Chain A
Amino acid sequence: MKQLITIAYILLIVTSCRREFVAPVPNTDWDLFNSPTAVRLTRLTMNKMEGIYSFGAGADVFGDSTALKWSYTVSGNDTSYKLSMFCEKQAAYFILEGKRLDTSILLNGYWRKLVNTETGRVRLTINQVNGSNYLISPSPLNSNNKFAVTGTFSYGDAVPDRPVNIQYNRSLNRTTPFQIIAHRGGGRTADILPASENSIEILKLAPQLGSTGVEIDVRLTKDGIPILYHDARLNERLVQKSGLLGPIENYSYAQLNTIVRLKNGERIPTLRDALITIVVNTPLNLVWLDIKYHGSLQTVAALQAEFQQKANNMGRTLEIMIGIPDEEVQKNFLALPNSASIPSINELSPEKVIQTNSKVWAPRWTLGLQNEEVAAQQAQGRRAYVWTLDIPENIQQFILEGRFDGILSNYPSVVAYYHYAKK
């Protein structure tokens, strides 16, 4: 009978063991920040705040230094600015809003560590004693201007009460253009970000995570509509349960749009909707269309051309490129009319890059630094991006010792940190 118990035990273990990881964005209400007399920061103040800072209190949690950078999203006539802090330790980042209250600058938001699920609230202040007047004044900064940011942070939804402070050191490294490319639009669903991978919502989040560009995965529905979706099948990893299973190409867009929702409740976006969002709502300047299907690229190429023109007309600095990950996609790319003039990113060998006249060569990171090969591409007027690099020590190595023009990562905040902190 007794045996019954053991089999019951086995099955209960089997069914009860899996733990769900969550990292909800904390409630960041702060009465002082919401004060009616608090006003928006000027662009000049925001620009002056960007730089590399050293942690005092909080270094044990976030690392020794951090890179501060502003980004924005556009929604209708409103532009909303967010200050991101990219940290060294455990892919930690902060996302903050800023306001001025009298002579102080208030920063309010949350922090998160991407390698685990730790998150919490943060409230920071730059007051007159700590140099807020240098930031608020219309004069440019000089080397004698010192300022510091002090405040508190917490874990989870607790009221911030642990001290944290950072001291300005120097400006961000902007000596060479460098692409910080977020994988899957901003990160993976398993990273438990506030939005699912390859969604409209994560594209709007990508700049706050440090990205200057995004890589998005393109598939076709049964009726030929290009959509953003990584895996070949509808599965538990990416979508909520709906009874619809199997290859996504078995379903029409109407079926997917009505019935299927991504893990965080978003619809699966069309490529058109994604490009509208990127062009109109974000400051991103690179889109890497990773083609995940084998078939005609006509529809995708048409959208690439349409939105590239739209971006140009808006005066946006934006490149939309078709990604070539394998031989079959390369064959379909070369079958396009005037393929040589279509901007592309080729992941295959340098010889294939020449065949497709790609603007970018993109090898896998496990091939190593390949400094000579990268230099050869650059000598031909091409760029080189490497993918998909997530291990912080290796990211640092590629930035400090490599010659790549960009890194594709699930942790764009880590790439941002090491790039902007580079001396």
Chain B
Amino acid sequence: MRIFLILLVLFGSLHTVAQEVPIEGQKRIHFPHPMDTSWRISLGFTATTIPIDIAEEVHFRVPAGDIHAVKRISDKWYLDGRINFQIIQNLITLGPRWSTKINDRISVALGSDVGYWFGFINQQNIKTSGSGWQNYPNISFGYRFNKAILLTVKAESIMNFGIKSYAGEMQVTNDYRLFSGSAYSILLEQPFVGKKSMTLGFRAMYTDYFWQTWTLFESYDRNLFFPQLIVGLIL
């Protein structure tokens, strides 16, 4: 299915009649392209639906604040840092990106983000805490449409390790795979209002351990589907 979709995108691009809008000056944060500014920041939110298999009646879309920043290091290198926060549980990721242009329209980036999540919550008067490390090796392809519309397609591997969770003083043993799953994203970035641009995206995660579910102490060894909306205002 996804291969079909990728082909659809690429095929569609063949019909494009070019109206050139230079990439320089176009605000972007996910789009894989060498940076022409020193910094770029976006503020927004992500909303993830927890699968009904594990969330049961608490099956709703979980919003989290999203602060995303990229910092230019050199012509083709930049750093990508992100904080996904819900106060009671938060994820910080940081990783390098190497990106290059393939042609005027298409560009690519490779990266590997290291993440650390932590959370504290009082569950039924019991102090529960958890933390863990993650790694997201990733590859992104970018396609530059007319009218300053930037399309990013991204694939990530999801790795989990070093997970520790405690219910009160009791350590909870978590069973999970190092290679927990994968995620596939599609994002559109384009000018929205004034000089600000908007990111709209969708990320499909397939993983047997998603950090936001640490309080559920779930026991399944299945790659469950976690759909995630990504919305950001690029400043």
A contact residues vs B (CB 8 Å cutoff): 1-6, 8-10, 12-14, 16-19, 21, 90-91, 113, 115-117, 190, 230-233, 235-237, 364-369, 390-394, 410-411
Contacts and interface: CB of A to CB of B under 8 A. Distances in A.
B110 interface: no
Contacts of B174: 391
Given A115-B221, A190-B53, A364-B124, A12 B167 contact: no
Interface centre among A14, A115, A366, A410 (most CB of B within 10 A): A366
A1 B126 CA distance: 54
Interface string B1-24: 110010011011101100000000
Contact of B225 (A1, A12, A19, A366): A19
Contacts of B8: 5, 8-9
Given A2-B15, A10-B186, A115-B219, 7 more contacts: A5-B8, A90-B221, A113-B221, A190-B54, A364-B124, A366-B168, A392-B175
B145 interface: yes
A360 to B, nearest CB: 19
A19 B205 CA distance: 12
Contacts of A364: 124, 126
B168 A368 contact: yes
Contacts of B44: none
Contacts of A6: 9, 151, 186, 188
Given A1-B12, A5-B9, A6-B9, A366 B186 contact: no
B60 to A, nearest CB: 12
Contacts of A21: 53, 222
A226 B8 CA distance: 54
Contact of B5 (A1, A9, A236): A9
A180 B55 CA distance: 25
B172 to A, nearest CB: 6
A3 B56 contact: no
Interface in B207-235: 217, 219-223, 225, 227
A366 B123 contact: yes
A208 to B, nearest CB: 20
B145 A368 contact: no
B126 A237 contact: no
A85 B221 CA distance: 21
B158 to A, nearest CB: 15
B59 interface: yes
B25 to A, nearest CB: 20
| 3 cross-chain pairs, A with B, having the tightest CB-CB distances, nearest first | A366-B167, A5-B12, A393-B173
18 contacts: A2-B15, A3-B188, A5-B9, A6-B151, A8-B5, A8-B8, A9-B186, A13-B204, A17-B204, A19-B206, A21-B222, A115-B219, A116-B220, A190-B53, A232-B57, A366-B123, A366-B170, A367-B167
Contact of A237 (B1, B5, B59, B220): B59
Contacts of B13: 2, 5
Contacts of B15: 1-2
A62 to B, nearest CB: 15
